[in-house]
Chains A and B, each alone.
Chain A
Amino acid sequence: MASRLRSTWGGVLRTPLGASAATLLAAVLLLAVLAPLLWFERADTVDTANILQGPSSTHWAGTDSLGRDIFYRVLVATRLSIQLALLSTAIGVLVGLLLGAAPQLLGARAGRFVTAVVDIAVAFPGLLLALTFAVIFGVGTRGAVLAIGLATAPSFARLTSTLVASVAGRDFVAAARIIGVGRVRVLLRHILPNVGEPLVVNATIAAGSALLAFAGLSFLGLGVQAPAYDWGRLLGDGLNSIYVHPLAALVPGVVVLVAGLAFNLFGEAIAKGIARTPDIAMAPDGPRDRRGRRPMRAADATGAQADLTEDPDRPVLAVEGLRVGFPGPAGVAVEPVRGVSFTIRRGEAVGVVGESGSGKSLTALAVAALIESPGWVQAERLEFLGEDLRDTLSRTQRQLLGTTFAMVFQDPTTSFNPTQRIGRQLAEVAQEHQGNTHAQAMARAMDRLRAVRIPAAQRRAHQFPHEFSGGMRQRAMIGMGLMGAPRLIVADEPTTALDVTVQRQVLGLLDRIRAADDVALLLISHDITVVGEVCERVLVMYAGRIVEDLPAAELRTRARHPYTRALLAAVPDMKTDRDRPLAVIPGRPVDPANVPAGCAFAARCPLADDHCRQADPPLVDDGSGRRVACWHADAMLPAIPVAGDGRGAGGRGE
């Protein structure tokens, strides 16, 4: 603990902000000690011959109404200002600690009372509390110290009680209690050391605020009284003659500000240092394949206008050589999608399967032109209904996509705007792209909600997303895609966040829509069984590439890539011997930042040989539309290796 604290502070001093704040603070403290010793005489010398003089070589900041040197008075006032600020901070911290620790010290009942009082006090601004206390303690230095100290206490008490409560529930505290350690000792030995850092940080910041507050009270005439003087007093005196002699007000003002900032910035710098210590680097791939949420934008090429009359043979979506990349952590670009090519014909249902991190969700976002900077998309061809989506979208393209390209996302709970009613979120599409009035759009929205079998659509349309169940939300999301006349629905793990019973409904709904209107479907899933049931064709992705493309009907019988076969083998069915451990794919998925040479799957493949590890197999068409990228396609697989732990498996990689 102590060494961590030291290393944190050391780290803080090495940052530019921390170093300059620390230097500034040290200078202020040094000045507080030395200034009265060095310049007390000069600051107090009355010179009635030279009153209210402007700046000169003898008096840098001029003189006050008694002819005293303002510059030296400001320097000498440092000690009193800092002393009083620290004193009132100490009072505030001490009282705050006692109040905040009250639930620990006094037991639950008295603790609750203290907490309630603190809660009410915290709602009032510190200055108001300070004024009230200043009335009680009387005008003057002592009263102001007490007033500011007590005004600081509530917020510090709140912080302490929050921190203490977070630690008090931990095992080591419970253990200390069980072995009979007293309350005070538990607090001092076991709790406070563990919440020390944030308390120290906040005390530092509080000292800065106390300094400024004290200057405020003295400025009002409620703090330090003449003949004593602190910065606030000097400022107040100077303000009266600001027309004649502005420096008399500006110099103390600037000094107060600099000193206050020194405390504040130093506190902030430590806080930042502490926040940085546990440094949880963002994992390159979260458990839920969320990378697609990073803001990105499509790049490249030109946007072409195409007529929208539909050619039945023209693919709805045509993708060639699609690559998606991001700037990596060390400035090295990472490419999670590395050259994907496929087409989707009208009304066709294509599934994409693969483990987490295989690039399937990014592929979906890229074909939807939803990748934003700093991510980038490159492709030899990326066309939806003949429209090139590689460049920034034109207005007409936006309209076309808005009405004919539907997206269904994984988590319907987070994919609806929580502050808008469902109906409005659907209606928005028709208002934006079809020029509908609000009433027309709402009518359409209700019609669409009915179309996705949402009961009592009229009532439901006026509800907020949180009032819907998960399955209903996902159906409403599909309904949103149906506001226009979709030609393609891209569904990215549409059932993963749902209950098993609801999954069927949603998949059935997608299937019905597809059949009814000849809508193409691109279904992204980690679940090869789901894809096999819903889709006509399956694309298997591994490490940002398609490794196999085959008709869904032939999945079980004619899968050729060892990875596809391993995925299938990892799915238990009715014939699976339940006494044996479930089959898994050994090894780990490829890290997109570190793709090996040769076949990316080689390290996990039972068929891999030296050739596989050196040369990357191309995706070869066998002439009948089936494609596979494997040097050993069709080779007999040795018995699937079986591991017991179920980790690193393909079937439920996400």
Chain B
Amino acid sequence: MTSVPANVPLFSAMADNAWVRFAVRRLGRLLVSTWVVITAAFLMIHLIPGDPVRAALGATAPLELVNARREALGLNDPLWLQYVHYLRDLFTGQMGTSMISGLPVSQVIGDRLPATVELAVGAFVFAIGLSVPVGLTMAVLTRGGRRRRAELAFTSTSVVLAAIPQFLVAVGLVYLFSVQLGWVPVAGRGGLGSYVLPVLALGLGPAAVLARILRVETLGVLQADYIRTARAKRLRQRRIYLRHALPNALTATITLAGLLLSGLVAGTVLVENVFAWPGLGMTIVQSILAKDYPVVQGIVLVYGLGVLLVNLVVDIALALLDPRSTIRES
């Protein structure tokens, strides 16, 4: 027993080490992925067949104007030099200027990003807030083959909800709540009411998928030996489900939640266009149609980084919830 105090710092050093190793490994992956996203956004413009400037300005634009614009955008430099300039500009926060409005791309993104983030975060919170209680409750209610009807109703509802693409949900919601009932505005971003439908449209499908997965995972967990142990400890049912079953079911659900969330980031594009929501999604579609390539490039970059961020958060959450995962990976 005398060795106890000596062992404590050793142990914490070891634990730190595992976390440090995890952080280094994960950070390395993040850097590589970030580089890939940045490079992909750069190459995207250069893969467009023909001359993007000519395409943007139209066939009737005078040659001098096209050449001047090409020069201004640096498109006449060799590819590697353009790449170097592109990276340098990115590090200094410059993302070029819009070919249409002449505004700096970083300003366009800065104006539009908050609306999109609000929508995505709102939908995420909604999806988690709905799916965790529903999935857990359904698992508890239908465990061991109980309540077959409730199970069938739940699984079929969630399958159908999950299969409907977000923009169709959006159209249905608009018809029901704006056109028929007139409860909330049909489009635009204004008061709190205007957030209801976009958030619902974006979050309903992911919520259905998550609830279904969480139910299945919880059912599996409820069969586990350690749940039997918890029952042998005569804990309250609530404690068994919330403290013992839920964290274990969540670790299995989170990986999928990450995929859904990055899908949610992209889903904003369609939903924003249904609701004329002044976010990045509206802007990128307008810019693609107007061939405003610097803006498109900037927004693709933001979306890509957003997805990487979501993946990072998911990995960290997973490492925190499941202590074995950090060690398993190494």
Chain A residues within CB distance 8 Å of chain B: 120, 123-128, 131-132, 134-136, 138-139, 208, 212-213, 215-216, 219-222, 235, 239, 242-243, 246, 249-250, 253, 256-257, 260-261, 264, 268, 292-296, 368, 370, 372-374, 393, 398-399, 401-402, 405, 407, 409, 411, 414-420, 428-429, 432-433, 450, 455-459, 462-464, 466, 477, 480
Contact = CB atoms under 8 A, between A and B. Distances in A.
Given A127-B269, A295-B143, A402-B234, A253 B168 contact: yes
19 contacts: A123-B307, A124-B304, A125-B266, A132-B44, A213-B165, A215-B168, A216-B167, A239-B274, A242-B171, A250-B171, A256-B168, A293-B225, A373-B144, A402-B233, A407-B229, A419-B248, A419-B323, A428-B239, A432-B236
Contacts of B17: none
A260 B165 contact: yes
Given A136-B47, A246-B175, 19 more contacts: A120-B33, A124-B262, A125-B265, A128-B304, A132-B300, A219-B270, A235-B171, A253-B171, A293-B223, A295-B143, A399-B234, A402-B235, A409-B228, A411-B225, A415-B229, A417-B229, A417-B244, A466-B323, A477-B229
Contacts of B289: 139, 221-222
A419 B145 contact: no
A368 B293 contact: no
A415 B324 contact: no
Contact of B44 (A136, A372, A420, A480): A136
B230 to A, nearest CB: 7
Given A131-B269, A135-B293, A419-B247, A216 B165 contact: yes
Residue among B174, B226, B267, B296 with the highest chain A CB neighbour number at 10 A: B226
Contact of B186 (A243, A407, A433): A243
Interface of B: 1, 3-4, 7-8, 11, 33, 36, 40, 44, 47-49, 143-146, 159-160, 163-165, 167-168, 171-172, 174-175, 179, 186, 222-226, 228-236, 239, 243-244, 247-248, 251, 262-263, 265-267, 269-270, 273-274, 284-285, 288-289, 293, 296, 300, 303-304, 307-308, 311, 321-324, 327
A428 B230 CA distance: 9
Contacts of B243: 420, 428
A571 B49 CA distance: 82
Contacts of A250: 171-172, 175
Contacts of A401: 234
Contacts of B288: 131, 134-135, 139, 222
Nearest to A426: B233
A159 B307 CA distance: 21
Contacts of B171: 235, 239, 242, 249-250, 253
Contacts of B144: 294-296, 372-374
Residue among A135, A268, A456, A457 with the highest chain B CB neighbour number at 10 A: A135
B266 A459 contact: no
A306 to B, nearest CB: 17
A415 B223 CA distance: 11
A480 B304 contact: no
A474 B235 CA distance: 20
Contacts of B47: 136
Contact of B267 (A127, A253, A257, A295): A127
A131 B174 contact: no
A220 B269 contact: yes
Contacts of A296: 144
Nearest to A209: B165
B225 A414 contact: yes
B97 to A, nearest CB: 18
Contacts of A139: 288-289
A429 B226 contact: no
B233 A428 contact: yes
B146 A373 contact: yes
Residue among B164, B228, B234, B270 with the highest chain A CB neighbour number at 10 A: B234
Nearest to B263: A125
Nearest to A294: B144
A123 B33 contact: yes
Nearest to A395: B236
Contact of A220 (B8, B175, B233, B285): B285
A417 B230 contact: yes
Nearest to A483: B233
